[in-house]
Every structure is written in structure tokens, then in C-alpha cells.
Amino acid sequence: MFKSDKYIINIPFLLLCLFTIACSNYSVDNYKEIDSYPSIYPDYTDITIPYNIAPLNFLFTDNIEQYELLVQGEHGSLKIRGKNAVRFRMSSFKNIVERHKNSTLTITVFVKIDNEWIKYKPFAWSVSSYPVDNYLTYRLIEPAYEVWNEIQIAERNVSNFTERIIAANNMADGSCMNCHISNKNIPESSFFHIRHQTGGGTVVYQHGELRKIDTRTENTLSAGVYGSWHPGGRYIAFSTNEIIPEFYSTHDRRMEVYDTSSGLIILDLERNEVFSAPSIDRAAYFETFPEFSADGKTLYFCVTDSLTLPEEYEKLKYSLCAVSFDPESGRIGSKIDTLFDSSLHNKTVSQPRVSPDGKYIMITVFEYGTFPVWHPDARLYLIDTQTSEILKLPEVNNNDKYSNSHHSWSSNSRWFVFASKRDNGMYGKPYFSFIDENGQAHKPFVLPQRNPEFYHYFHKSYNIPELFSKSNKFNALDVERIFKSKAETVKFVGKE
């Protein structure tokens, strides 16, 4: 019996050793070495990855005849060969990556060009032991100007290639759907908007139920637009905006989306009431992009002086400010603190998102305006909430041109995802980046796809990527049902 157990224990070990030995040798023995990385798409060279990420399939962008690729680490290796596209087997990839948590994998690439083998400089994948949230939702939409046709909100399991549609506008009379936002403290809860004359409203998923709430009132400027969920789950802060799109005529800019008026409201989900306060809804200012702090006691928002528009659009510079918030009473403080002063930096700020551990606020910073997506200069910065230091994240903003925006934190505050148009200025894609203990961000990488050619032929933008630790428990049919139902109304209970 004892003998037999020993035998069983040793077989996997033996197999592992054999596997490692078999895989650790190159089959290419006659090659030329080049001191540069191979030209691959997506760029997965020297990146930090979560151990639960889907296989990082990629293409060689040069015309090659054959490749051989060796993934090596201290706990094993993996070798694959092919013609042009590197497609890992799910199990092999998972196996080797998970065995190298807190370790580094070295990827050595040989390619055959004109009958000659070339060995490139190896690149590295540092495997983080912090997982990224398994679920990523995004809006799939053509990057059009004003028109939309097919809009879907999809949920992708980032640890494999499964994607499912959780809302589709073809089942909601073609209406616009946007801003699917999670509550990091209460997994599975989320909200998004359906814009429709009769069936529209804010769709809230909470406690296993879908609700549709019409946040418009006679006393507010518009329905809720940009929103942030209070960590306690009772409140959602919204901006109300009068949004105008304008179209540039010269070649380097496409469109400008700005508000001619805006303010903030807070929706009480328990009482179906909305309220505001003089500090967050002032006539002489445009307030927008609210964001609750991780402890729920502070409300951050972007604010600028009201200007004459569109004439002064280039003077629109928003600062990041904060007021206190008492979740028990719903009272909003009157003292406004400034965290990012646009006049000091001569930049504008938008889309503040607080890390779930409360240590950082990530913001999008650009030259002017409120909507960063079409600003080629839009970059992500971090604000350290304890020191107020502003970190410019050069590793993340490593693209010369085109926007980085719409960022979302993973629930462990170690990963964030953002939409970047860096590839061609038009089609946004979700990029992941790691933040280490020192607040150091790592080089981002794009969401992997089963077919590495996918992004070449896909003509939609990944809009508003949002990480969820648990899968959303509703689907497109549920949204169709709620679209057809009557929206709950809310009552404006005043500005304190």
C-alpha cells in the first residue's frame, strides 16, 4: 500500500520533469540572433499579467514562413510552433501561467523568414498573483458621430474567451444604451441608461432584481447621465447635463462634446427621491462626473466656471473638487475642496474613479473640455488620496497619440482597465494595467482574443469597459422585459 502511494505521487512529478526537459530545448539550432523584439500584434512584450488572464494570442506582423515560440519559467516551459498566428491551447497556457504567480516567464521567439531562422530578443511576462476581476463589461458601438445603429452591452469573461450580450438595443426599439457602471463593494450590482422617449430610464440591477427608474423631474436639468454608486448601495450620484456635439473641420480632430449646462443630483434608491445641494449644483458653474469615495463619506466631482459656448470651448477647464457626504442623513457638505486645480495645471480633468481601497483617484487629463474620448491628448493620471500627489503614469500613457479614458478599477485595486484609441485613433479597445504596492503602473496590454486577427476585422469600439468580480445576473431578454415595463418615477426633494 505504501509502495503504491509513493508510485502515484511520483508519476506527476516524473511527467512534469519529462515535460520540462522535452520543452526546454529549441528545435531550431541554426539561427541568426537579433537584438530587438519581434514585431507582434497585439504588443505583449514585457508586460505584467494577472494569472487568471485568457491566453495572450498574437500575430507576427512581418511576413514570416514559420515560427517557434518557447515560454520558459522556473516551474516549466511551453513550446509551440506555427505559421503566423500564435494561439495557445487554453489548458497549456493556464497551466504555465498559474504555476508562475509572482514569477516571470520568458518568451523566446524564432521566426523563419526567407528560409532563414531568426532568434529575437526574448521578452517577459511578469505574472502577478493578484487576479484581475473575471468579468469585463463594455458597450460595443460604432465610433460614429451622432448616429447609432446596433448597440450592445456585452460581458466578457477575461479568463477565457466567452462573451455574452447582456443588453441589446435591437430588443429595445433601437434606443441608445450607455454607462454600465458597477458598485465594487456590492458585486453583481450595476446600472446603465436606456435613452428612449417612452421606454427609457436608468436600469438598476440590485438584490437580484432589475428596476427601471426615470430620474427626470421638473426641477432637474435632465435625466441622470454620468453616475457613481455609493459603496453602501443606497445612493447613486448623477450629473445632469445638456450635452452638445460639435464637429471639427481640420484633420487632427474629430468632434467635441461639451455641456452648455450641468449639475449634480443624488438618487436615493430606497425612497425614489433625488436631491442636490448648493455646493454641487451652482448656477455659475458646470458640475459633472460625480464619484463617491471608497468609504462613501466624500463626493468628488469635476467643475468649471460656466462659459459662453461654443465660442469659449477651448477655455473649458474642469477642476477636481470634493464635498463631504453623510450617508445616514444624505446631507451634502457645503465646503468645497480642490484636489486638481485646472488653473494650476492648465489642463482639464474628467472621469474620476476611486480605487476600491480608497488609496487613489484615477482621472483623465487633457487640454480642455469635458469629454476626453476624441481628445488625442487625453491621458490617465493618479491622485494619491493621502498625499494629494499627482502621478502621471508614463508607463500607461505610453502612446504618442489618441485618447486613454473610461477607466475602471478591479475590486482588489491592483488592476484597472481603460479604453484607448491608441491603435488608430478611431476604434477604442480595452487595455489592462497593473498597479504595484508603490503606485507604479505597468505597461498596459489589450484584452486578448481567441483569434489574434480579431481587432483587424472588428469595426466597433469597446466603450466604457467596467470590471466586475461576479457575473451580471441578467441578460438581454431581461432588459427587453424591463424596457417594455413602466419606469418608476422619482420625486425631487430639494436642495438642502
Partner 1 sequence: MKRLLNVRIITPVVFSILVLFFWQFGYRYTLFFQEPLQLFLTTGNYFWETLKLPAGFAGYLGEFFTQFYVIPFVGPLIILFLLLLLQFLVEKIFCFYSNSNKWFVLSYLPSVIYCFVLSDEFYLLSGLIAIIIATALSLFAIHIRNGKTRAVSISALIIVAYFISGGAFFIFLFTVLVAEFIGRKKRQNYSKAPIVLLVLWLIISIVIPVLIRNYYDPVPLRQAFVSDRFHKISTVLPFPSLIMWILIPALLWISAFFSKGITHNALVNRIAQLLILFVVAYSSYKQFPNPNAEKVKQYDYYVRHQQWEKIIELAEKDLPRNAFAVNYLNLALVKTNQLGNRLFEFRQLGSAGLFLPYDREHLSSVFGNEALYHVGLVNASQQYMFEGMEAIPDLRKSTRALKRLTDVAMINGDYALASKYIDLLKNTLFYKKWAQNAELYLYNELKINTHPDWGIKRTIRPQSDYFFSVHNIDVILLSLLHDNPNNRLAFEYLMSYYLLNKDLGSFMRYVSLGHAFDYQYLPRSCQEAVLYVLGLQSREAVQDNPYPINPQTTQRLNSYVNIYTSYPDAEMRLKNDFGDTFWYYFHYR
- One symbol per residue from 380 to 419: x for binding partner 1 (CB under 8 A), - otherwise; what is it? ----------------------------------------
2 binds partner 1 (CB under 8 A): no
6 binds partner 1 (CB under 8 A): no
DSSP-derived secondary structure letter, 72: E
* CB closer to partner 1 out of 192 and 360: 192
248 binds partner 1 (CB under 8 A): yes
Out of 35, 114, 252, 328, which residue is the one contacting partner 1 (CB under 8 A)?
252
CA distance 330 to 313: 34
Out of 24, 74, 144, 278, which residue is the one contacting partner 1 (CB under 8 A)?
144
Segment lying near partner 1 (by CB under 8 A), choices 128-136, 247-255, 390-398, 465-473: 247-255
* CB closer to partner 1 out of 295 and 312: 312
| Shortest Å, Cβ 210 to partner 1 | 15
* CB closer to partner 1 out of 171 and 243: 171
- For the record, the C-alpha cell of 395 comes out as 508607463
249 binds partner 1 (CB under 8 A): yes
Out of 68, 155, 188, 256, which residue is the one contacting partner 1 (CB under 8 A)?
256
Out of 81, 207, 331, 456, which residue is the one contacting partner 1 (CB under 8 A)?
456
Sheet containing strand 255-268, edge to edge, reads 255-268, 273-276, 491-495
270 binds partner 1 (CB under 8 A): no
If DSSP codes are grouped into helix, strand and coil, which group holds residue 287?
strand
284 binds partner 1 (CB under 8 A): no
CA distance 464 to 408: 8
Residue whose C-alpha cell reads 458621430 in the numeric block: 145
Q: Which of residues 343-372 bind partner 1 (CB under 8 A)?
A: none
260 binds partner 1 (CB under 8 A): no
Out of 65, 74, 116, 246, which residue is the one contacting partner 1 (CB under 8 A)?
246
Residue partners of 329: CB distance under 8 A and separation at least 6: none
* CB closer to partner 1 out of 286 and 455: 455
26 binds partner 1 (CB under 8 A): no
Out of 31, 37, 148, 161, which residue is the one contacting partner 1 (CB under 8 A)?
148
The enclosing H or E element of 415 equals strand 415-420
| Shortest Å, Cβ 477 to partner 1 | 6
CA distance 28 to 314: 58
187 binds partner 1 (CB under 8 A): no
DSSP-derived secondary structure letter, 97: H
Angle in degrees, CA 314, 347, 285, rounded to 5: 65
CA distance 250 to 245: 16
176 binds partner 1 (CB under 8 A): no
| Shortest Å, Cβ 66 to partner 1 | 20
| Shortest Å, Cβ 169 to partner 1 | 11
Bridge-based pairing of strands 461-468 and 135-141 is antiparallel
* CB closer to partner 1 out of 29 and 252: 252
* CB closer to partner 1 out of 4 and 250: 250
142 binds partner 1 (CB under 8 A): yes
| Shortest Å, Cβ 371 to partner 1 | 14
Q: Where are the beta strands (DSSP E) in 39-150?
A: 40-41, 47-50, 58-60, 66-73, 76-82, 85-86, 103-113, 116-119, 123-128, 135-141
- Terminal CA-CA length for the chain: 78
CA distance 476 to 457: 25
* Cβ–Cβ < 8 Å for 311, 254: no
Q: Which of residues 418-447 bind partner 1 (CB under 8 A)?
A: 423-427
84 binds partner 1 (CB under 8 A): no
Task: Write the CA distances from 313 to 288, 289, 367, 398, integer angstroms.
Answer: 16, 18, 11, 27
* Cβ–Cβ < 8 Å for 270, 235: no
The enclosing H or E element of 96 equals helix 90-98
| Shortest Å, Cβ 256 to partner 1 | 7
* Residue 45: φ, ψ to 5°: -85, 135
247 binds partner 1 (CB under 8 A): yes
| Shortest Å, Cβ 436 to partner 1 | 31
| Shortest Å, Cβ 174 to partner 1 | 8
* CB closer to partner 1 out of 80 and 171: 171
- For the record, the C-alpha cell of 410 comes out as 478591479
477 binds partner 1 (CB under 8 A): yes
CA distance 155 to 475: 10
Positive or negative, the CA dihedral 26, 29, 34, 35 is positive
* Cβ–Cβ < 8 Å for 472, 155: yes
Half-sphere exposure (CA, 13 Å, Cβ side) for 190? Answer: 29
- One symbol per residue from 150 to 169: x for binding partner 1 (CB under 8 A), - otherwise; what is it? x--------------x--x-
Out of 70, 109, 476, 482, which residue is the one contacting partner 1 (CB under 8 A)?
476
CA distance 239 to 264: 4
312 binds partner 1 (CB under 8 A): no
What residues line the site for partner 1 (CB under 8 A)? 142, 144-150, 165, 168, 170-171, 174, 246-254, 256, 310, 423-427, 451, 453, 456-457, 459, 475-477, 480
